[in-house]
Amino acid sequence: MTELFREVDNCVTAPQGFRAGTVACGIKSDASSKDLAILASYVPCVTAGTFTTSGTAAAPVLLCQERLKDGRTQAIIVNSGNANCATGDPGLLNAYCMTEFVATHLHLENELVLCSSTGIIGRQLPIEKIAAGVKQIELSREQGNAFSEAIMTTDTHPKRIALEFELEGRTVRLGGCTKGAGMIYPNMATMLCYLTTDAVLEHEWMQNELRAAVADTFNMISVDGDMSTNDTCLLFANGLAGNTPLNALHPEAETFRKALRHVMEYLAIEMARDGEGATKLMTVLVRGALNKADAVKAARAITLSPIWQCALAGGDPNWGRIVAALGASGCALQADRYDIFIGDVQVTRQGIGTEYEQEQARAAMAGSEVTITIDLHLGEGQATAWGCDLTHGYIDENTLYTR
Amino acid sequence: MTELFREVDNCVTAPQGFRAGTVACGIKSDASSKDLAILASYVPCVTAGTFTTSGTAAAPVLLCQERLKDGRTQAIIVNSGNANCATGDPGLLNAYCMTEFVATHLHLENELVLCSSTGIIGRQLPIEKIAAGVKQIELSREQGNAFSEAIMTTDTHPKRIALEFELEGRTVRLGGCTKGAGMIYPNMATMLCYLTTDAVLEHEWMQNELRAAVADTFNMISVDGDMSTNDTCLLFANGLAGNTPLNALHPEAETFRKALRHVMEYLAIEMARDGEGATKLMTVLVRGALNKADAVKAARAITLSPIWQCALAGGDPNWGRIVAALGASGCALQADRYDIFIGDVQVTRQGIGTEYEQEQARAAMAGSEVTITIDLHLGEGQATAWGCDLTHGYIDENTLYTR
């Protein structure tokens, strides 16, 4: 991290004016598991969001998209354990009910409340449990971390971060947390991401910045190539820091952009690292592509190849599988030009295997973080994608999920 | 099978005039494994082919594409254990050498010999072993089955079939065999497929028929979404049956088309069933799509979803994962219209979960063959795709392959 930013605690409640609270209301089968959480600001927020492009998007996604039209919200309620997807009109009604419970509980305008759900698809929400749960939730500044834990499903640990930095001499903060471990191929992934800031942001600029940052971070991770029905990424800016509104012309816009990118990249990488059953984080750098779109195709193709993910799990430098995934990616390439590196070990030069030391290549695959670098030697396009290995753990996690 | 066709033995050597032979020449680490095979016709054949679309296509694919330009060949040599891919100019030279060995051995024109390779990517072929091996190969009419075994890599059993039927009152035969078990997402799959017939076929018609049949069969199977560098499908027609050349106007063209489709669909399904680690064959029928392209997208998306493949492995009717894959597929759909069936059990009606019996749904998932039917209720488009489950076996097969 650059010196511009200091890490601070409490993730989404680190910026001033945000509060959170959680409860175990019985949606998850384990009655002691937190499964309902609220995040709210004292004042309305300018809000930007990006969502799954799935044709079977869940009810809460439809609700968020509707309510984000004027870019102004104040709170969100999130449940884990049930995705409220493939639930038809009753499901949509339940989503609206969830927000109404929060509006009543916190004395907010109903239209300013959003909701998210994550978990099993195809079951109606136990709406009475949620009604009762909301009443028990007490919000406070200290519960950002608890919020990040209540939204988890198969995650092994929470993913959260908050930064503090200066804008116009004022101290501002940006916090964030995500959940997501399987069905991760964002556009978005089965991921929920909540970002909060007390900076003043112009809505259009903020929406553009969020979308661009999602493209380079959350949309560049993959666990299994499965896109979810519930993916949601929201950025709430309550403006309590009182700076001049940030937009493309603001001289310090770049500082906020860097902070946003830092937070989102951190969260994206942590999600890839915590992929279901994952033991290794894979970073794939592609450079020399004809253009950025091609670099993205190539980098994602490597992270998405199950057969390479298995080799990664075994620490087996079977780079032929990288060649196969690269060839299948559809990116422009010349078979006698590309170079491939595993860590620092060059395994392919101009499309042909090098005389590398097998032991060195194995060593480069041995750790918990493995970097693959591909230079296509065709142009200036570059991209980075993150993924993980494919292990028995993934199978075990997903073989018997509904039981 | 319809009564038009009778099954006969010896697959690719069932049609008159075809011979095969095999040898263990030491390409595979297990010295007793057959790893080199030749298939040849007594007379030149009209030949059609389809190949991988990979940007890193292997040397033998390039050779075949070059030599198929005039649609006339007589023999093919195939090695397993080494893909001759990412091997640069030396690899291409080796591919040409392989065909020369065969031409010398069988007294054929060099330009009439093709070659295929399958196995590890990135290592040069042991060309001296191949030179020695070719000399040991004795061809006969009885070795079609041996040929189908020598081309296997991680396949647990050979995939082969031959049909006999009548054309213009003459008896003709069509035989075929394939290999392929992992890295299966054809366009083609890591699959090699050889088809032989003694019927007389017009080249252009035959090429079109082959391409269309590949689209509906081999290109509709998936094990892991990985496309290979070596995929090859060849159809050799030596014309010894002496019928009037088949083309689009021939009154009995449909008989041959049906036989070709039957053989290719059978081989495709057998490959999906024998996916690495697979315990269940999955058949996905999509109907009511806006058009065929959309039906293909939707059907393939279900077979390609690792998270659904895991549920399938566990016999868990977690149909929400089908909804997620369907939504992510990019096919046109209306969230309040689609129906989903697991076997005969309707689990979704108009986009909402039905009140089905969990035990019935489990029973529909319990066997070694599971059929998923999706009706999008939008149009007339239909497609069928085949895949398999994702198990520990796949992981084990692919974690340590090069060791």
Residue B377, token pair as written in the block: 């209720």
Helix B292-304 and helix B306-313, axial crossing angle in degrees, nearest 10 = 60
According to the model, what pLDDT value does residue B397 have?
76
According to the model, what pLDDT value does residue B189 have?
39
**Per-residue pLDDT tens digits for B187-238:** 333 689 999 999 999 999 999 999 999 989 988 887 666 668 888 999 999 9
Distances A360 to A45, A317, A339, A342, B161 between C-alpha atoms, Å: 52, 10, 17, 9, 46
* Residue entry with tokens 């929470």: A158
Q: How many C-beta atoms surround the C-beta of residue A94 within 10 A? A: 22
According to the model, what pLDDT value does residue B183 have?
54
Nearest residue of chain A to residue B316 (CA atoms): A400
**Per-residue pLDDT tens digits for A12-40:** 999 999 999 999 999 988 888 899 999 99
Q: Is the pLDDT of residue B185 over 50?
A: no
Does the distance separating the beta carbons of A318 and B54 come in below 8 Å? no
Does the distance separating the beta carbons of B311 and A86 come in below 8 Å? no
A400 pLDDT tier (thresholds 50, 70, 90) = low
According to the model, what pLDDT value does residue B65 have?
96
According to the model, what pLDDT value does residue B403 have?
44
Q: In Å, how far is B392's CA from the nearest CA of chain A?
A: 6
The distance in angstroms from the start CA to the end CA of chain A is 43
DSSP state of A140: B
According to the model, what pLDDT value does residue B350 have?
95
According to the model, what pLDDT value does residue B348 have?
95
B86 closest CB neighbour out of A325, A331, A352: A352
Listed in order, strand segments (DSSP E) in A83-208 are: 113-120, 159-167, 170-179, 192-197
Of A325, A305, A311, A307, the C-alpha closest to A374 is A325
Give B 125-144 residues with CB within 8 A of chain A: none
According to the model, what pLDDT value does residue A226 have?
62
Does the distance separating the beta carbons of A57 and B328 come in below 8 Å? no
d(CA B266, CA B162): 10
A307 closest CB neighbour out of B187, B336, B398: B398
**Per-residue pLDDT tens digits for B253-306:** 999 999 999 999 999 999 888 888 889 999 999 999 999 999 999 999 999 888
- Work out the percent of chain B whose per-residue pLDDT is above 90: 75
Q: Is-above-0.90 flag for pTM? A: no
According to the model, what pLDDT value does residue A31 have?
82
The answer, for B331 touching chain A at a CB cutoff of 8 Å, is yes
- Up-side HSE of residue A283: CA atoms within 13 Å toward CB? 15
**Per-residue pLDDT tens digits for A128-176:** 999 999 999 999 999 999 999 999 877 888 999 999 999 999 999 999 9
The answer, for B180 touching chain A at a CB cutoff of 8 Å, is no
According to the model, what pLDDT value does residue B78 have?
97
Average pLDDT over residues A200-229: 86
d(CA B319, CA B312): 10
A186 pLDDT tier (thresholds 50, 70, 90) = very low
According to the model, what pLDDT value does residue A297 have?
92
B54 pLDDT tier (thresholds 50, 70, 90) = confident
Give B 282-301 residues with CB within 8 A of chain A: none
CB contact at 8 A, A232 and A51: yes
